[in-house]
């Protein structure tokens, strides 16, 4: 069976030109439309790769410029479609305006069939290249995951992941430092998964979420009858993670008396349950995390210095989402895909204003805030595309620049804007250059200059 021909939609109200164009492209399946309604019906039904559009279509009774109305509708419904607009002699300004609104190219009347054919076939070639690029992005995108589960394209987070991969094969204790919501538990799980302990259990405990009088029992376990209510012997989290990894989240909230007992375990690798007299050997690796300033707590006498150095043999600092340009959009798309599948399948993506809002927000709550906003927006969205309004952003504060050296500030700004544009266009060079308002060769030069990758 022969390959299906690509589809070309011709939007033209002149019957003579309709007939002339219909038979000029035997390598396309040609569809003809004479007005806005029939053009949009054909667009939805046939999904043509290329459209030729006469900007001089008669206006609607209400005076709306029909050609531009069709163009705007095509860009909203099928933004990847290549639209080639036709304008009358002397109407070059209208054609340039159409390109600003998303058209691929233009040609002037009177019509030259051969010249238009070259433009149409070039548009088709670009459409297919971009389609293949999106397919490669989607397939490679095991969604740009590192450590098997964390989604990122930011060099800052990739560096963190590489550090974790290097230390995972050792037995050293690792401390993850970062603001709340930056993904510390996800990184701890990733460390466990790539370590030699991956076959063993991964046990997580949030030290701040458990009352002080219960935390010792949670960590070390207790013997039957050790205290009122201890009706049976129970293993603690340290013991249940034997052969695997114990993740202590918010380790800065462990009270001082219990810090002494945890330090002894790290030194001796044995524990005693509450009410017990027998030392139990435990082979458990400790990974801990906190958003608190432990060095300040040590100076204040609320955290033991010797415990800190036992827990922090390797310290990994996790950047906030605002310091990972492009990741907010990447993560938002992944969250939308998951939540739409679970809760609102009619939602298919983000509108342009939503992507701009996501890209420009400071994200004080980091990934957790982003996940919650996207989840709420998916549930509440009325249309197929989530808008900025659906994301419920308040008025944001402008970030202030701390860099006073002009050259360094310009380079930092260039890097940030280029990475935002690459993320928003999913790595497509043509779309990125268009967003940035520069040519593709200039973009390639900047990518080389700043050692960035599409």
Burial 252-278 (b: 16+ CB within 10 A, else e): bbbeeeebeebbebbeeeebbbbebee
Residues 409 and 291 occupy one common structural domain: no
Does residue 18 fall inside a structural domain?
Answer: yes
For position 356, what pLDDT does the model report? 83
Q: Which of 319, 351, 375 is a domain's end point?
A: 319
Residues 216 and 276 occupy one common structural domain: yes
Residues 289 and 269 occupy one common structural domain: yes
Instruction: Look up the CATH number of the domain holding residue 99.
Output: 3.40.50.2300
Range of the domain at 191: 150-319
Residues 192 and 268 occupy one common structural domain: yes
Does residue 1 fall inside a structural domain?
Answer: no
Q: Which of 112, 140, 168 is a domain's end point?
A: 140
In whole angstroms, what is the distance from residue 208 CA to residue 255 CA?
10
Residues 194 and 293 occupy one common structural domain: yes
Residues 136 and 176 occupy one common structural domain: no
Token pair belonging to 47: 């999904």
Does residue 2 fall inside a structural domain?
Answer: no
Instruction: Look up the CATH number of the domain holding residue 407.
Output: 1.10.10
Does residue 145 fall inside a structural domain?
Answer: no
Instruction: Look up the CATH number of the domain holding residue 183.
Output: 3.40.50.300
Q: What is the domain count for the chain?
A: 4
For position 58, what pLDDT does the model report? 66
Does residue 285 fall inside a structural domain?
Answer: yes
Q: Are 130 and 428 in contact (CB under 8 A)?
A: yes
- pLDDT less than 70: residues of the chain: 1-3, 58-65, 89-91, 133-144, 146, 148, 394-409, 453-454
Residues 233 and 157 occupy one common structural domain: yes
Residues 55 and 111 occupy one common structural domain: yes
Residues 409 and 275 occupy one common structural domain: no
Does residue 250 fall inside a structural domain?
Answer: yes
Does residue 245 fall inside a structural domain?
Answer: yes
Token pair belonging to 64: 């709306």
Residues 206 and 278 occupy one common structural domain: yes
Q: Which of 396, 411, 436 is a domain's end point?
A: 396
Residues 332 and 225 occupy one common structural domain: no
Instruction: Look up the CATH number of the domain holding residue 353.
Output: 1.10.8.60
Residues 312 and 330 occupy one common structural domain: no
């Amino acid at each position: 069976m022969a390959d299906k021909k690509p589809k070309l939609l011709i939007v033209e109200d002149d019957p003579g030109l309709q007939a002339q164009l219909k038979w000029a492209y035997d390598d396309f399946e040609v569809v003809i439309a004479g007005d806005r309604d029939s053009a949009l019906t054909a667009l939805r039904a046939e999904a043509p790769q290329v459209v030729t559009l006469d900007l001089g279509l008669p206006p609607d009774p209400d005076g709306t410029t029909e050609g531009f109305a069709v163009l705007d509708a095509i860009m909203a419904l099928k933004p990847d479609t290549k639209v080639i607009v036709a304008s009358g002699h002397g109407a070059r300004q209208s054609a340039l305006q159409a390109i600003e609104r998303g058209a691929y190219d233009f040609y002037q009347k009177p019509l030259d069939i051969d010249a238009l054919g070259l433009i149409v076939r070039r548009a088709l070639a670009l459409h297919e290249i971009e389609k293949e690029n999106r397919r490669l992005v989607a397939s490679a995108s095991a969604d740009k995951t590192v450590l098997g589960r964390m989604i990122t394209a930011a060099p800052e987070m990739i560096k963190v992941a590489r550090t974790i991969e290097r230390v995972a094969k050792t037995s050293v204790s690792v401390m993850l430092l970062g603001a709340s919501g930056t993904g510390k538990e996800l990184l701890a799980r990733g460390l466990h998964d790539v370590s030699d302990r991956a076959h063993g259990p991964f046990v997580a405990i949030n030290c701040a979420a458990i009352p002080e009088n219960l935390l010792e029992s949670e960590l070390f376990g207790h013997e039957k009858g050790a205290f009122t209510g201890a009706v049976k012997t129970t293993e603690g989290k340290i013991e249940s993670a034997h052969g695997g990894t114990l993740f202590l989240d918010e380790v800065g909230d462990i009270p001082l008396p219990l810090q002494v007992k945890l330090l002894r375990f790290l030194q001796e690798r044995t524990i005693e349950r509450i009410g017990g007299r027998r030392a139990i050997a435990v082979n458990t690796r400790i990974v801990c995390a906190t958003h608190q300033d432990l060095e300040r707590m040590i100076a204040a006498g609320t955290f033991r210095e010797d415990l800190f150095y036992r827990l922090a043999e390797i310290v990994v600092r996790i950047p906030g989402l605002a310091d990972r340009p492009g990741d907010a959009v990447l993560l938002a798309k992944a969250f939308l895909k998951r939540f739409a599948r679970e809760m609102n399948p009619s939602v298919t993506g983000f509108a342009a204003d939503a992507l701009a809002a996501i890209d420009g927000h400071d994200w004080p709550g980091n990934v957790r805030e982003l996940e919650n906003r996207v989840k709420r927006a998916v549930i509440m969205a009325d249309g197929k595309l989530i808008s900025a309004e659906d994301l419920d952003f308040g008025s944001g504060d402008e970030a202030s620049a701390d860099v006073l050296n002009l050259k360094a500030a310009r380079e930092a700004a260039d890097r940030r804007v280029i990475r935002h544009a690459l993320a928003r266009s999913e790595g497509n060079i043509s779309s990125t250059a268009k967003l940035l308002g520069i040519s593709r060769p200039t973009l390639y030069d900047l990518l080389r200059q700043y050692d960035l990758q599409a």
